[in-house]
Each structure stands twice: as structure tokens, then as C-alpha cells.
Structure 1
């Protein structure tokens, strides 16, 4: 069996699960389409905890995503294929998607970029982050908008970028300096608001 045949065969195995277990389709659609909002919320919460390690983790996630996206665009120039629903018959397509080059998967790149970065900084939650990224990748196959090779390429690119960024960015003194200055600025902005809130609470009493 060739790589192309294996790619299609594995796609059929996962995508056909949506036909066999239709009751799981709403969950797959949610993960494939809307889990990105939960990821954004997690990033915002981590950033505003005002923890230096947490903010470095977010910075590394953003840098990883930018680098991985650039690598993904380059990979897309070297190889291209349309979405499965545009290339194969009888695909169980559960979400709308414009036909374009689906290699590699941008969704997978996004999730693996942040989840791998979070995993490297917080090993205690490693299973959760990798499971989340993997579920998103599988869901994109389930809903019919990506081949397994699309998501696998996105994951590999993000893992390579994430590990490289983790080994380099936290060692750059300028990054620490910028984070410290941002934190100082944020404290300057929030301090008058906090004092005003405390004053109003005392007046109410």
C-alpha cells in the first residue's frame, strides 16, 4: 500500500466513524470548530495571572505559532492537496470549508504550537495538552476537512518549532526585559483602578 493509499485508507477509517456513530458528530464539530475559543481563553487567563513563567510560556507559544505557520506555508508550496471532500466521493463532511490547499492543517499547527509550548513549561499537565491537540487534529479528519497527512505534518512542524523556541527564547535576556517592562506598565495602569475600587468599597460601607 502506497503512502497516498494509506493516507486515504486512514482518512476513511476515521471519517466513517461519523457515519457509524452519528451521536458523536456534535462533539466532533465542537472540537473541530470551537475549541479554538477555549484555547484563546486559556492563553488569556495564563497571561493575566501575572506570573513570569506563565507569560514566558505564552510568548513561546505565540513565537512557535508564527514560526510553525511560516514553515507550514513553505511546506504547502512543496506539496499541495485539496480537502478530502473535494477529492474523494462520499465524504462525511460536517462543516463548511472553502476548497484550497489543506496541507498542512493550520488548525493543527495552532493547537500543537500552544499545547506543545505549554507542555514543555508545565510537564505536570503534559497528558492534557497533548490530548487536547490530538483531539483537535483527529476531529479535523472526522468532520472531513483534512487528511491524516495534513494533520500529521502540522503536528510535526509545530513540535519541531516548539522545541526549538523553548530551547532558545527563554534564554534571551531581551525577552525577560520586555516582559518586566510590560509588567511594570500594567501595574502602573491597574494601580489607580484598584485604589479607586477600594475607595468605593469603603464609601459603600
Structure 2
């Protein structure tokens, strides 16, 4: 299926920014490639705080990602196209990437499914996670590995999955039961220290 001119024009508009403002390219590469580690760190911090709400949030985020990724794979079988750098000329390609189906963007699916899940629970500071997901999506176009349609579709799948799981998961008692079972085992292996008070 041929790519629309609008999709290509939007790609050029964003990707060419790297030629006009080359001093921003290292930042774009960092966001596109390495913020994944910050996301992993955030998940670990939320989990190991041993706060039940945080752990349920992480579980919801994980289920959301799995659902969004499955939907993404299904869409990928219905439509496919190679990365911009493999098809278009004069692309500002800043990272190494194998040539395969770039629709939809797995990076965007990952970040939006998890970051929106965080925002749905932690709205006060959750907008920072939303901002991160948005920046990752734009950066993947900036570095030349995705078209805007790849990013938009990945974002929509992530948002849909996060909202759906946030609505459905509380109705599934086995999710809370599994977490309770895990926490009992964890407490036996790594018991929390009780805070003592000195009078």
C-alpha cells in the first residue's frame, strides 16, 4: 500500500528539523534510544516502593502494553511499509536500525501504553510521563526510523489499551489475588523492617 503524500510531507517536516537545528540531534538520539532505560527505572521504583497502588498501576501498565503490542502485530499484518531511511532519499538518519515493517511503532506502543497507564493513576505528576511518551514519538521521526502514521497509530493503540485495562482490571479479582499472593511470598523472603520509636 503506497504511503500518502501527507504522511511523507509530515515526515519531511519533522525529520528536516535535524538538518536545520543539528545541535539538537544528540538530544533527539538520546530520547529516541535511551529513555527506555528511564522508563524501566520508573517501573522498578514504583514496584519496589511496596505501595499497593503503585504495584497495581505497574500491573495495569504491563497488561496494557501486552494488549497494545498484540493489536499492533495484527495491524502490522494488514499493512506494512519499510522505514523512511530505506525508502526515501536524503533522510536525516541518526541511529542504526534494521529494515523491516515499521508500522506501527513498537517504541510508541510501549511508551504510550505504560505512560498513559501511569497518568490514569497519578494525574498530579503523570503529565510528565505523557510528555515523555510524546517526545519519544517525535524523536523516532526526527532520527529517521518512523513515519508520523507509525507514531500516531502506536500512540492510539497505547492510549486505547491503557484506558481499557484501567477500566477492566479492577473488575478482575484474580489480578488483585495474584498481587496479594506475590506480596505474601515477598514478605517471607524480604520482610519489611518495622520502624521503631525511641522514647
TM-score interval (norm. to shorter)? over 0.9
What SS does the aligned partner of 2:93 have? coil
Q: Higher mean Cα deviation, 168-177 or 5-14?
A: 168-177
The residue that corresponds to 1:10 in the other structure is 10
Aligned Cα root-mean-square deviation (Å): 1.5
Once the two structures are superposed, what CA deviation does each residue of 1:145-193 show, in whole Å capped at 9, x if it has no partner? 00000000000011111111000112211111111111111111113x9
Shift of 1:137: 0.2
Q: Distance in 2 between matches of 1:167 and 1:115?
A: 16
Shift of 1:43: 0.1
Superposed, 1:39-58 pairs within 5 Å as: 39-58=39-58
Matched, 1:94 2:100: no
The residue that corresponds to 1:21 in the other structure is 21
The residue that corresponds to 2:149 in the other structure is 149
Distance 1:71 1:135, change over 3 A: same
Once the two structures are superposed, what CA deviation does each residue of 1:110-143 show, in whole Å capped at 9, x if it has no partner? 0001001001111112321111100000000000
Superposed, 1:99-138 pairs within 5 Å as: 99-138=99-138
| Structure with greater Cα Rg | 1
The residue that corresponds to 2:71 in the other structure is 71
Shift of 1:35: 0.4
Residue correspondences, number: 193
> TM-score scaled to structure 2, two decimals?
0.94
> TM-score scaled to structure 1, two decimals?
0.91
Q: Distance in 1 between matches of 2:22 and 2:59?
A: 39
4+ residue runs of structure 1 moved beyond 2 angstroms?
Answer: none
Q: Higher mean Cα deviation, 118-127 or 82-91?
A: 118-127
Gaps of at least 5 residues in structure 1 are 196-205
More helix by share: 1
Matched, 1:167 2:167: yes
Contact 1:60 1:162 (C-alpha < 8 Å) held by counterparts: yes
Q: Distance in 2 between matches of 1:88 and 1:44?
A: 39
